[in-house]
Amino acid sequence: MLRLPPFRLVEARTVEEAVAARAAASGAAAYVAGGTDLYPHMKRGQDAPETVVALGAIEELRTVEPLEDGGLRLGAGTTLERLAADPRILEGWPALAEAAGRAATPTIRAMGTLGGNLCLDTRCNYYDQSEAWRRAIGFCLKKDGERCGVAPYSSRCWAVQSSDTAPAAVALGAAMELAGPGGRRTVAARDFYRDDGMAWLAKTAEELLVAVRLPAPKGTSSRYTKVSRRGSFDFPVLGVAAWIRHEGPGAPVEAARLVLGAVTSAPVTVEAAAGLLLGSPLGAADLDAVAEAAWKKARPLDNTDHEPGWRKQVVRTTVRRTLAVLGENEGRG
């Protein structure tokens, strides 16, 4: 049985208190909310923080409130279960509700948080194993080793970003509120992720994701589709998030975003594919051409479930299906 190693637990009551505790900790430290990602990592020896700063008592992180411009501010401690069932999100930002509702299992969604899922560690078959297993292969570049298991001659880690909510946040044009020792700042979701399996987030270790800001949904529609081996528990081997803005059903698409998840170390925004949707109603778009353009940008490696060739081929089908359903739902939001 894998057990948690000993650590010091600090319970913070405010964001500022949490940041101060994290900065003051001697040795390795980490934040924890639901713990559905951190604690398994600690049991497998992937993370070994001496101090863990608990965030569950911070009210600001659990608050969901409307913004003056018609948008919505989601506290990073909001559970995935709550996001998936919130009628405001279901109506205005359905891609995020769908992504939250497809993550993991009901039990994990009841504990796991939006912030935790957005900051989810990148995953790889060579990394997400017990310490004994990893030691037997000489470890990997991401943790304790000197080379990448899936690409031995590469100088970088190719672990995959497997968050369900990340591609949805990027497609929706969300913004991330961060708090750190130097104060607070806001980063666009599209700039929050890096295509690097070891340094996958554009934030410092001391910074805390406090909230996610969703822009006003007027005139927009969105959709998220997940591909995984099983309908529950499994991480995605492909996630497709689509967003469009138009004046109403049958009106030309004025703006569009198409984002692929779980194909590399960061969500991939497929601008060429989204550009093919502009200027005409979604129902009149050549979805085969859009799917082909998205397929060209997907370059999965043999580091997660399913063969990489199959994972690439399924991009066409999933993108087309996502946009077809989005077309059926035009005018919502």
71 and 171 in a single domain? The answer is yes
Q: How many CB atoms lie within 10 A of CB 225?
A: 22
> CA 294, CA 221: separation in Å to the nearest integer?
19
Q: pLDDT value at position 333?
A: 41
Q: What is the CATH classification number for the domain harbouring 3?
A: 3.30.43.10
> CA 273, CA 295: separation in Å to the nearest integer?
9
Report percent pLDDT > 90 for the chain: 95
Ramachandran angles phi, psi of 199, nearest 5°:
-130, 70
Give pLDDT tens digits for 235-260: 999 999 999 999 988 899 999 999 99
Ramachandran angles phi, psi of 46, nearest 5°:
-80, -30
**Within a domain: residue 131?**
no
Query: What would the mean pLDDT of 291-302 be, rounded to a whole number?
Result: 95
Query: What would the mean pLDDT of 170-189 be, rounded to a whole number?
Result: 98
Token digits of residue 112:
């796991």
Angle at CA of residue 213, ends 114 and 95, nearest 5° = 60
Query: What would the mean pLDDT of 103-116 be, rounded to a whole number?
Result: 97
Q: Give the residue among 152, 146, 145, 117 at the shortest CA–CA distance from 129.
A: 145
101 and 7 in a single domain? The answer is no
**Within a domain: residue 141?**
no
Residue 161 pLDDT greater than 80, yes or no: yes
The residue among 296 and 232 whose pLDDT is bigger is: 296
Range of the domain at 9: 1-57
**Within a domain: residue 8?**
yes
Q: pLDDT value at position 330?
A: 63
**Within a domain: residue 193?**
yes
Q: Give the residue among 167, 160, 175 at the shortest CA–CA distance from 125.
A: 160
2 and 113 in a single domain? The answer is no
48 and 89 in a single domain? The answer is no
Report percent pLDDT > 70 for the chain: 99
The three-state secondary structure class of 12 is: coil
- Structural domains of the chain, count: 2
> CA 87, CA 68: separation in Å to the nearest integer?
19
Query: What would the mean pLDDT of 202-228 be, rounded to a whole number?
Result: 97
**Chosen domain end from 10, 38, 57:** 57
**Within a domain: residue 80?**
yes
Ramachandran angles phi, psi of 43, nearest 5°:
-65, -35
Across the beta sheet with 208-214, the strand order is 64-66, 72-75, 208-214, 175-180, 183-188
Report whether 323 contacts 240 (CB < 8 A).
no
First to last CA, the chain: 47
> CA 143, CA 277: separation in Å to the nearest integer?
42
- The overall average pLDDT reported for the chain is 96
218 and 277 in a single domain? The answer is yes
Query: What would the mean pLDDT of 150-165 be, rounded to a whole number?
Result: 96
> CA 185, CA 177: separation in Å to the nearest integer?
6
268 and 321 in a single domain? The answer is yes
Report whether 167 contacts 267 (CB < 8 A).
yes
300 and 234 in a single domain? The answer is yes
Task: Provide the pLDDT confidence category of residue 82 given band limits of 50, 70 and 90.
Answer: very high
Across the beta sheet with 238-245, the strand order is 220-227, 238-245, 255-261, 268-269
53 and 79 in a single domain? The answer is no
The angle, 0 to 180 degrees and rounded to 10, between the axes of the packed helices 287-297 and 308-328 is 140
Read off the pTM: 0.97
Q: Give the residue among 7, 51, 31 at the shortest CA–CA distance from 207.
A: 31
Ramachandran angles phi, psi of 251, nearest 5°:
-85, 155
Give pLDDT tens digits for 187-196: 999 999 999 9
Task: Provide the pLDDT confidence category of residue 150 given band limits of 50, 70 and 90.
Answer: very high
Q: What is the CATH classification number for the domain harbouring 100?
A: 3.30.465.10
**Within a domain: residue 154?**
no
Helices (H), the chain: 15-24, 38-43, 80-85, 87-92, 94-102, 106-111, 114-118, 131-136, 165-171, 189-192, 271-275, 287-297, 308-328
> CA 234, CA 228: separation in Å to the nearest integer?
6
**Within a domain: residue 143?**
no
